[in-house]
């Protein structure tokens, strides 16, 4: 049996994915997570705090999935290429729902620094992930940009076509 906090986070993921951050209310989360209002507020002071926690959990989950997916790859080129296969895997697993961080970014006001910092931190970690693999800041940023745009395009068109094309570009870029 999942704890109330786990149920709240899981329900938040489902609701944010289905209807977005702005259209999801605390009362709906409480109802669908089947937790008491007092239990919700014991863990989260506000919807903003819930969103920050949700993004932190999502960050850990996403990087764990990525690392597990790439665990067998030994050299940097195969890790980078396989990272694009990971996007296809996640699209199949999550039905092209896209990036939780970018989805929320599009809904928050520009002055919401608390949530923005978490989103920026996630993207910085991803950028650094590619840099650590390649040890070349220009090439790794190029790959990061292809990776990010592949996520957005695949969500928009519900297709892995541009991920596949990016994978081919990467194969030619990395020697």
Residues 112 and 137 in one domain: yes
Note the pLDDT of residue 120: 98
Domain count, the chain: 2
CATH number of domain containing 12: 1.10.10.60
Local confidence band at 1 (pLDDT 50, 70, 90 cut-offs): confident
**pTM value?**
0.94
Boundaries of domain holding 76: 54-173
Residues 13 and 79 in one domain: no
Local confidence band at 172 (pLDDT 50, 70, 90 cut-offs): very high
Residues 153 and 102 in one domain: yes
- Is residue 25 predicted with pLDDT exceeding 80? yes
Centroid of chain to Cα 173: 25
Residues 13 and 83 in one domain: no
- Cα angle: 72, vertex 74, 75; to 5 degrees: 140
Contacts of 168 (CB under 8 A, 6+ apart): none
- Give the tens place of pLDDT for each residue, 65-123: 999 999 999 999 999 999 999 999 999 999 999 999 999 999 999 999 999 999 999 99
Residues 140 and 91 in one domain: yes
């Amino acid at each position: 049996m999942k704890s109330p906090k786990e149920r709240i986070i899981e329900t938040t993921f489902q609701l944010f994915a289905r209807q977005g951050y702005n259209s999801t209310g605390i009362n709906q989360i409480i109802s669908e997570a089947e937790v008491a209002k007092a239990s919700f507020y014991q863990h989260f002071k506000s919807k903003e705090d819930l969103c920050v926690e949700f993004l932190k959990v999502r960050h850990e989950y996403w990087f764990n999935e990525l690392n597990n997916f790439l665990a067998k790859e030994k050299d940097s080129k195969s890790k980078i290429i396989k990272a694009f296969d990971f996007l296809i895997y996640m699209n199949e697993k999550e039905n092209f729902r896209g990036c939780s961080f970018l989805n929320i970014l599009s809904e928050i006001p520009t002055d919401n620094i608390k949530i923005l910092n978490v989103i920026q931190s996630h993207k910085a970690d991803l950028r650094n992930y590619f840099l650590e693999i390649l040890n070349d800041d220009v090439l790794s940023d190029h790959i990061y940009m292809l990776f990010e745009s592949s996520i957005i395009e695949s969500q928009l068109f519900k297709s892995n076509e541009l991920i596949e094309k990016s994978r081919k570009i990467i194969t030619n870029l990395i020697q």
